[in-house]
Amino acid sequence: MTKARARQITKAVIPAAGLGTRFLPATKATPKEMLPVVDKPAIQYVVEEAASAGLTDVLMITGRNKRPLEDHFDRAYELEELLVRKGDEAKLARVRESSDLATMHYVRQGDPKGLGHAVLCAEPHVADQPFAVLLGDDLIDPRDPLLAKMIDVQRELGGSVVALIEVAPEQAHLYGCAAVKPAEWHGTLGGDDEIVRITDLVEKPAEGEAPSNYAVIGRYVLDPTVFDVLRETPPGKNDEIQLTDALRVLAQRTPGRGGPVHGVLFKGRRYDTGDRGDYLRAIVRLACERDDLGPDFRTWLKELVGSGELDTLTGAE
Ligand code: G1P
């Protein structure tokens, strides 16, 4: 194993500069990352995932109106004092959870020039070590750990690793899509997940132009060479600097020059919170599974479905 490969991965980068316009007016004065999924802000699930994969240092790429993110992961002394005085240990623990997860850092993106540009903003912090990128719209169930596997694969094979899922052909235009071939990997990943070698990538392909049904989801473990490539990457889809375009270059490079790129084909539970419909579905699924809220909520949901009331609704804005 080379020295570069043996280095420990400790840093996570979480792009969080987006305006969240799909959730207006909720996101007029509140970052979309702070919208609750059951009773925790969506972004807390993502930081918890990074921490449980062993990452101790989190850099958030933020922008204007994102101050609540910094406050959420900081101590809240007045609130904590109050709960201490009341002796409310349970609530105190819930308040402290988010500030004990990792060492947090923040940098502003300035111009919103795309995901590739957001990742490039992390360069001064990350420097020359491999690092993880987690996108906040994807929540991965902690029972199906994905990032830790991707880190293992990167440690063994070097280069970069992305997470893939299989999607229906009509969904491919919503994602970066990968052309793949079998990987030379003889270890075991655990669970049903598989590993593949990526030969090409296309960001949000037009209908009929996807190289496969393998779609990139928001988890990446990247070789720092990606920064050099991103600096040279011209604006692509939607006139933005696309991370997918930089990874396409690395996928075609040899080891030592930033390649190869592997994909972990994830078969576990993932909740998309990227648009309003998916966000609602994620909340219902997660609420059903909770030990505390789940039993009552499931009973109510079964009654609602069984009552036929849903069949009579015609919908109103
Ligand atoms: C981004 C990436 C895309 C990827 C997706 C996963 O797109 O550009 O390649 O498939 O995240 O969620 P976005 O959904 O931010 O438009």
Is residue 5 over pLDDT 70?
no
* Mean pLDDT across the chain: 93
> Is the same domain home to 191 and 285?
no
> Is the same domain home to 218 and 309?
no
More confident residue, 187 or 134: 134
> Is the same domain home to 45 and 90?
yes
> Is the same domain home to 48 and 34?
yes
Report the residue count for the chain. Answer: 317
Determine the distance separating the centroid of ligand 1 and the alpha carbon of 99, expressed in angstroms.
28
Which of 1-5, 104-108, 234-238, 302-306 comes out lowest in average pLDDT? 1-5
Determine the distance separating the centroid of ligand 1 and the alpha carbon of 29, expressed in angstroms.
24
Nearest alpha carbon, ligand 1 atom 7:
175
> Is the same domain home to 173 and 287?
no
Is residue 2 over pLDDT 60?
no
What pLDDT does 7 receive?
64
Nearest alpha carbon, ligand 1 atom 10:
175
Model confidence at 191, pLDDT cuts 50, 70, 90, reads: confident
Is residue 4 over pLDDT 70?
no
Q: How far is the C-alpha of 233 from the C-alpha of 248, rounded, in Å?
A: 11
3-state SS, one letter per residue, for the chain? CCHHHHCCCCEEEEECCCCCHHHCCCCCCCCHHHCEECCEEHHHHHHHHHHHCCCCEEEEEECCCCHHHHHHCCCCHHHHHHHHHHCCHHHHHHHHHHHHCCEEEEEECCCCCCHHHHHHCCHHHHCCCCEEEECCCEEECCCCCCHHHHHHHHHHHCCEEEEEEECCHHHHHHCEEEEEEECCCCCCCCCCCEEEEEEEEEECCCCCCCCCCEEEEEEEEECCHHHHHHHHCCCCHHHCCCHHHHHHHHHCCCECCCECEEEEECCCCEEECCCHHHHHHHHHHHHHHCCCCHHHHHHHHHHHHHCCHHHHCCCCC
What pLDDT does 317 receive?
53
Domain around 180: 3-274
> Is the same domain home to 194 and 288?
no
Does 216 sit in the ligand 1 pocket, CB within 6 Å? yes
Determine the distance separating the centroid of ligand 1 and the alpha carbon of 138, expressed in angstroms.
10
Does 165 sit in the ligand 1 pocket, CB within 6 Å? no
> Is the same domain home to 315 and 265?
no
> Is the same domain home to 121 and 49?
yes
> Is the same domain home to 178 and 298?
no
The domain tally of the chain equals 2
Model confidence at 1, pLDDT cuts 50, 70, 90, reads: very low
What's the pLDDT tens digit per position in 86-99?
Answer: 999 999 999 999 99
Output the CA–CA distances (angstroms, integers) from residue 154 to 30, 82, 201, in the order listed. 36, 45, 18
Q: How far is the C-alpha of 205 from the C-alpha of 109, rounded, in Å?
A: 26
> Is the same domain home to 167 and 290?
no
Determine the distance separating the centroid of ligand 1 and the alpha carbon of 258, expressed in angstroms.
21
Model confidence at 130, pLDDT cuts 50, 70, 90, reads: very high
Q: What is the CATH number of the domain that holds 129?
A: 3.90.550.10
What's the pLDDT tens digit per position in 19-76?
Answer: 999 999 999 999 999 999 999 999 999 999 999 999 999 999 999 889 999 999 999 9
> Is the same domain home to 173 and 315?
no
> Is the same domain home to 136 and 226?
yes
Rounded mean pLDDT, 4-8: 58
Is residue 167 over pLDDT 50?
yes
